[in-house]
């Protein structure tokens, strides 16, 4: 039987299609490296316009990948941002997810998926290095025995943690389920309720301190710096603040080196540039901005070490490196470290109003860089993107399916994250003690009683008992409140925000 011309055409077309497919690189899921900096603002990196500090390694990621101009942490503080990033669920839906004390219980539910456990489904080896701040244990934790549940119960294979923050006790690393370097004869005790031990506090003996507290941070003295909370014991296990960046970076490099034969996920959550800012002596004086600027230089070095390792192991091409921050910037966050006096012309928040803790844009609009040489073309993107989408987006990039009831606020934004779509989300909820809705060029900030300025940190909170409506296209600085002049627009944004909140989920809520 002779083939008809149409059949021949179809066969020829499929052969061409086959050839085209065959020429594409095989779809091999990438390694994932998520570098999560602390309190780094939109304007703090030279690839976002800073001139008082240079960040060549971060600038390299920006040059080789996608640099986002409208990327957001899920919240204006750490714990809720990390909660959303890990779970794909907005933290405002879960009470108890505000900034945690250092002895808080784990707030992630081991029965629910996390970014780490999702990647585990596809066989990834998963390491968590650095700042955790999502709680450990089930309450009344004994730091001298097995510390669980924690990262290893929510999807990581290994972890090396700063349990909460550098300014909160206990000032020890947790290696897996144990305090690293613990001496059984010198047990650790921690309290956030009452004073423990006889050692003088930072409040009583400021003369013992090498960095003075400005507000808060006046309890137990560890390494000449007083902290939030009380601790006794564990003297051999105490971290040395100046070495923290080196210690964490060595762990991150070691993890990648050991994991190289597998597909891996590294979650590298730096302590920099959170307070207390105590850069290693080799970074002291790298900028004219004092410890805050020098910590940015140190952060950049940390990033460079990870990039160098990926290069040396020839892993860079098929590794997605993401860099971002957990909330916007703060200059004085409780220690007198010269950050205010030496700030000069540097603008930590770039052009945005507010900062850490704020409902204004600088609260959550942070640097975000994505590099995946095999898939991303270098570019700058205006897409509206959010860390709450990490679970669904990374799952999609790595070929992992999400069930309908998993990570319910997380949208698959892989096209935007790879720089293929300049729009991204059609809306976004910003969380900062109140809720804001971004929709189109509009931003609605829900009314909130209370101070408008957080005086101690000198940041405008963007909280107002009156509703606020801004048009970011014409008024990026959020100075012209349109709410009373455009009541219908304001009401419709308020209603839409309520609808998404009430829906209990984002996926499908906007259809
Ligand atoms: C605040 C601390 C601040 C910082 C913040 C958490 C005081 C007065 N201020 O309560 O220094 O630790 O909590 O920062 O104690 S975050 O980046 O982890 O959210
Ligand atoms: Ca933070």
Looking only at the bridges linking them, the beta strands covering 319-325 and 31-37 are parallel
Rounded-to-integer distance, Cα 360 and Cα 484, Å = 19
**Distance, CA 198 to ligand 2 centroid (Å)?**
31
As a residue count, the chain comes to 511
**Distance, CA 78 to ligand 1 centroid (Å)?**
9
Kindly report the protein residue whose alpha carbon is nearest to atom 15 of ligand 1: 216
- Domain ranges in the chain? 28-188+238-425, 191-232, 429-503
Kindly report the protein residue whose alpha carbon is nearest to atom 18 of ligand 1: 78
CA-based torsion, 205, 211, 212, 216: positive or negative: negative
Q: Which token pair is 417?
A: 């994250």
Report H helices in 207-339: 244-259, 291-312
**Within 6 Å (CB) of ligand 1, which residues are found?**
38-39, 77-78, 99, 133, 165, 167, 215-217, 228, 274-275, 327, 333-334
**Distance, CA 487 to ligand 2 centroid (Å)?**
35
Rounded-to-integer distance, Cα 35 and Cα 404, Å = 28
Q: Which residues contact 54 (CB under 8 A, 6 or more apart)?
A: 46, 297, 300
Q: For residue 99, which atom of ligand 1 is closest to its CA? A: 19
Rounded-to-integer distance, Cα 292 and Cα 485, Å = 41
Q: For residue 77, which atom of ligand 1 is closest to its CA? A: 19
Q: Which of 38, 41, 77, 79 is the best mutation target for the ligand 1 pocket, counting ligand atoms within 8 Å of the beta carbon and taking the most?
A: 77
For residue 165, the ligand closest to its alpha carbon is 1
Kindly report the protein residue whose alpha carbon is nearest to atom 7 of ligand 1: 216
Q: For residue 38, which atom of ligand 1 is closest to its CA? A: 17
* Cα separations in angstroms, 163 against 132, 143, 168, 177, 267: 5, 11, 9, 11, 14
Nearest to 105 by CA among 64, 137, 62: 137
For residue 166, the ligand closest to its alpha carbon is 1
Domain range 28-188+238-425, its CATH number among 3.40.50.1370, 3.30.360.10, 3.40.720.10, 3.40.50.300? 3.40.720.10
Q: Which residues contact 465 (CB under 8 A, 6 or more apart)?
A: 447, 448, 449
Q: For residue 164, which atom of ligand 1 is closest to its CA? A: 18
Rounded-to-integer distance, Cα 216 and Cα 196, Å = 17
Kindly report the protein residue whose alpha carbon is nearest to atom 19 of ligand 1: 78
For residue 37, the ligand closest to its alpha carbon is 2
- Ranges of beta strands (E only) in 344-487 are 368-371, 379-386, 427-431, 435-439, 442-445, 453-454, 459-460, 468-471
Specify whether the CB–CB gap between 461 and 358 falls below 8 A: yes
Q: For residue 215, which atom of ligand 1 is closest to its CA? A: 8
**Distance, CA 67 to ligand 1 centroid (Å)?**
28
> pLDDT for 213-239, tens place per residue?
999 999 999 999 999 999 999 999 999
For residue 455, the ligand closest to its alpha carbon is 1
**Assigned CATH for 429-503:** 3.30.1120.10
**Distance, CA 333 to ligand 1 centroid (Å)?**
7
Q: For residue 133, which atom of ligand 1 is closest to its CA? A: 18
Give every residue of the chain whose pLDDT is below 50, as ranges: 1-3, 5-26
> What is the pTM for the complete model shown?
0.94
* Cα separations in angstroms, 72 against 328, 363, 439: 9, 9, 14
- Ranges of beta strands (E only) in 318-426 are 319-325, 368-371, 379-386
Q: Please report the pLDDT score of residue 24 as a whole number.
A: 41
**Residue carrying the six token digits 């101009």:** 69
Q: Please report the pLDDT score of residue 510 as a whole number.
A: 67
Q: Please report the pLDDT score of residue 508 as a whole number.
A: 81
> pLDDT for 161-200, tens place per residue?
999 999 999 999 999 999 999 999 999 999 999 999 999 9
């Amino acid at each position: 039987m002779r083939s008809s011309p149409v059949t021949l055409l179809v066969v020829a077309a499929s052969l061409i299609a086959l050839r085209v497919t065959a020429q594409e690189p095989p779809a091999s899921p990438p390694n994932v490296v998520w570098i999560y900096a602390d309190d780094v603002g939109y304007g703090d990196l030279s690839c976002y316009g800073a001139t008082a500090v240079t960040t060549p390694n971060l600038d390299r990621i920006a040059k080789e990948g996608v640099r986002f101009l409208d990327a957001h942490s899920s919240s204006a503080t750490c714990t809720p941002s990390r909660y959303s990033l890990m779970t794909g669920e907005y933290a405002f839906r879960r009470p108890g997810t505000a900034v945690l004390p250092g002895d808080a219980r784990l707030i992630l539910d081991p029965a629910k998926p996390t970014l780490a456990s999702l990647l585990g489904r596809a066989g990834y080896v998963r390491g968590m290095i650095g700042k955790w701040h999502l709680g450990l244990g089930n309450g009344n934790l004994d730091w001298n025995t097995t510390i669980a549940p924690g990262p290893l119960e929510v999807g990581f294979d290994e972890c090396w943690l700063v349990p909460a923050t550098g300014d909160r006790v206990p000032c020890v690393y947790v290696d897996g389920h144990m305090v690293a370097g613990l001496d059984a004869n010198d047990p650790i005790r921690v309290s956030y309720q009452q004073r423990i031990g006889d050692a003088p506090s930072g409040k009583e003996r400021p003369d013992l301190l090498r960095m003075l507290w400005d507000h808060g941070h006046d309890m137990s003295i560890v390494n000449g710096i007083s902290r939030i909370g009380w601790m006794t014991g564990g003297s051999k296990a105490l971290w040395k603040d100046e070495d923290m960046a080196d210690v964490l970076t060595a762990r991150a490099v070691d993890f990648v080196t050991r994991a190289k034969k597998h597909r891996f996920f590294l979650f590298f959550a730096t302590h920099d540039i959170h307070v207390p800012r105590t850069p290693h002596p080799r970074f002291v004086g790298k900028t004219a901005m004092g410890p805050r600027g020098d910590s940015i230089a140190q952060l950049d070095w940390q990033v460079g070490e990870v990039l160098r390792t990926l290069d040396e192991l020839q892993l860079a091409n098929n590794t997605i490196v993401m860099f971002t921050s957990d909330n916007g910037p703060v200059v004085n966050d409780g220690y007198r470290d010269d950050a205010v006096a030496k700030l000069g012309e540097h603008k930590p928040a770039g052009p945005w109003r507010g900062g850490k803790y704020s409902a204004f844009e600088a609260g959550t609009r942070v640097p975000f860089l994505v590099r995946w040489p095999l898939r991303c073309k270098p570019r700058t993107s205006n897409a509206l993107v959010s860390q709450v989408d990490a679970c669904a987006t990374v799952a999609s990039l790595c070929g992992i399916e999400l069930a309908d009831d998993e990570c319910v606020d997380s949208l698959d934004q892989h096209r935007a994250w790879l720089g293929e779509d300049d729009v991204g989300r059609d809306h976004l909820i910003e969380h900062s003690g109140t809720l804001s809705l971004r929709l189109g060029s509009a931003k609605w900030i829900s009314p909130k009683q209370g101070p408008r300025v957080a005086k101690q940190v000198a940041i405008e909170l963007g909280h107002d008992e009156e509703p606020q409506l801004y048009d970011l296209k014409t008024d990026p600085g959020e100075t012209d409140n349109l709410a009373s002049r455009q009541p219908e627009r304001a009401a419709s944004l308020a209603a839409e925000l309520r609808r998404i909140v009430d829906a209990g989920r984002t996926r499908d809520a906007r259809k």
